[in-house]
Amino acid sequence: MKRWSFLIVAFLLVLSVVTAALAEGEGDAGDAGAAKTVIVNAGAAEESAEFKTIQAAIDSIAGKEDKTGWIILVKNGEYDRFTVPKGIGALTIQGESRDGVVVKTLMNTERASQWDNGGINIHGSNVTLKTMTVLAGSSTVAWADAAISTHHGAFGGSGVSLTVEGCTVTGENAKYGIFWDCDRVEVMNCTISGFSNAIEFMCDNHSIPAGETYKMTGNTIMGCGFAVHGYMGGGEGGGVLEISGNTVSGTDALRTKVIVQQNAANTLKADIKNNRFENVVIGLVNLRGEGETVSEPLEANTLGKNCFYVEAIEPGTIDFYSTYRAPQSGNGHWELTGIDDFEVDWGKNPDGTKAYIEDVVAKANAAGSKTLSLTGIDENNLIKTFTWFKDGIYWVTDPDEPMPTPEPTPGPTGSGSTIIAGTPTLTPIPLAPPATGDAGGFGLCLAAAAGAALLAATCVSRRKER
């Protein structure tokens, strides 16, 4: 009798799960209860339910009443650039593989509107781009043109936020890789190369709220004049811009710059740490207040050859304007690489500027000093150096100086990566969306049946053991 009881229980279990699975499979993908996922496939057949372009998938979401929380999964292939309009929120656009999904940007001078920046335009909130290659040409029209841009002058970036994660952004001498002037942008575990400015932010009307941290972490940036460059100027701020776990390399001829500036009305904290730098200038402008420089740049990073740090304020004073500092370990000298750019032809530095700078540099080198303090001839004749021209003075490491070996740096929390010298090893993310509809219900039925059969067999086996 007990054996039949076990079989009846197993049958009822199967029946209940089958009923639930069939109920789940009812309805279409647009119903509130269905997974909010759409597929883009450049090679899709005409009769396929998959979209052929990323823009078509975005437009379909924009036409729905519910525009929040969608996922666009992009299969390997080559795609045109796209625009995420204002009103779409919590959207993730994820490629099947980093190298297999290629989005072409800045390939021509055609622009759909004055707010079309020639590349991927992000005007929605909480948008995430993941696991793809963004390939940028050199066709720029407007000042904010970029491979990826949040610029939209009509609403000034208010309500716009973006995360770029696990992507390769490659340019052909274009100006901006990622340009932002909005509420929030984070860039993590990306490789960026071939731009004048890899990550540029011009946030006149935005700040990082107190208690929050915006992250530029785990990236590899090569062959760019500026790796991270920009300023904050809106609101009270008080939050932290963290630049950590990155590998950044310039060249002997042109240093790559990591420059963060705050405007007088804004409170910003910069935390530059655990990076691997070579041929890099670290610059902090107007960040001399208590706690505004979270980590000491020369001590908190692994510095290869020709690296140095500049601390400056604008406008300066005769007591402090721009101070250049080289690492205490190692030997080298200061070199004037653009003395003529500091001269009076620019119309702002006083007569005698060139002689003043040459004298300060010569005295520092003669004394073996690793610090240059450049202020002015007198309080009425201040001299702009770093706040004006970033490449005018370099620290040059002696050729025989041994370079430090970078230590492993843990990846950002929850990133699924480990960074060795800032180079990420990404955890693969499966492309296939959760099964829904008839196919999902059928799979669930089979699983339930197998489980129930196993339960019944176990019970019968135990009956026999007795």
pLDDT in tens, 408-426: 444 333 333 322 233 333 3
**Rounded distance between C-alpha atoms, residue 150 and residue 156, angstroms:** 9
pLDDT of 8 above 70:
no
Nearest in space to 251 (alpha carbons), one of 391, 357, 126: 391
Look at 465 and 128; give whichever has higher pLDDT: 128
**Rounded distance between C-alpha atoms, residue 395 and residue 417, angstroms:** 34
Percent of the chain whose pLDDT exceeds 70: 77
Nearest in space to 385 (alpha carbons), one of 395, 394, 375: 375
Look at 426 and 139; give whichever has higher pLDDT: 139
User: How confident is the model at residue 265, as a pLDDT?
Assistant: 63
Would residue 309 count as lying in a domain?
Answer: yes
pLDDT of 458 above 50:
no
* Distance between start and end Cα atoms, the chain: 14
Confidence band, pLDDT 50/70/90 cuts, at residue 274:
very high
User: How confident is the model at residue 289, as a pLDDT?
Assistant: 86
Number of domains in the chain: 1
Task: Summarize pLDDT for 193-228 with one digit per residue, the tens.
Answer: 999 999 999 998 889 999 999 999 999 999 999 999
DSSP 8-state class, residue 356: H
Would residue 208 count as lying in a domain?
Answer: no
Would residue 362 count as lying in a domain?
Answer: yes
User: How confident is the model at residue 401, as a pLDDT?
Assistant: 61
Confidence band, pLDDT 50/70/90 cuts, at residue 11:
very low
Would residue 342 count as lying in a domain?
Answer: yes
User: How confident is the model at residue 7, as a pLDDT?
Assistant: 43
**Which residue type does 110 have?**
E
- Domain of 378 in residue numbering reads as 305-402
Given a contact cutoff of 8 angstroms between Cβ atoms, the answer to whether 144 and 119 are in contact is: no
Structure tokens that stand for 432 in this block: 């296939």
User: How confident is the model at residue 392, as a pLDDT?
Assistant: 93
User: How confident is the model at residue 347, as a pLDDT?
Assistant: 63
Structure tokens that stand for 98 in this block: 């980093």
How many residues appear in the chain?
A: 466
Confidence band, pLDDT 50/70/90 cuts, at residue 114:
confident
pTM of the model: 0.80
Structure tokens that stand for 300 in this block: 């908190």
Q: Give the chain's mean pLDDT.
A: 82
Distances (CA, A) of 259 to 62, 193, 312, 327, 337: 37, 17, 11, 18, 19
Would residue 346 count as lying in a domain?
Answer: yes
Quick one: average pLDDT of 77-102?
A: 97
Identify the sign of the CA torsion 383, 386, 391, 397.
positive
Task: Round the CA-based radius of gyration of the chain to a whole number and report it.
Answer: 28
Would residue 126 count as lying in a domain?
Answer: no
Would residue 326 count as lying in a domain?
Answer: yes
Would residue 268 count as lying in a domain?
Answer: no
Q: How far is CA 399 from the centre of its chain?
A: 34
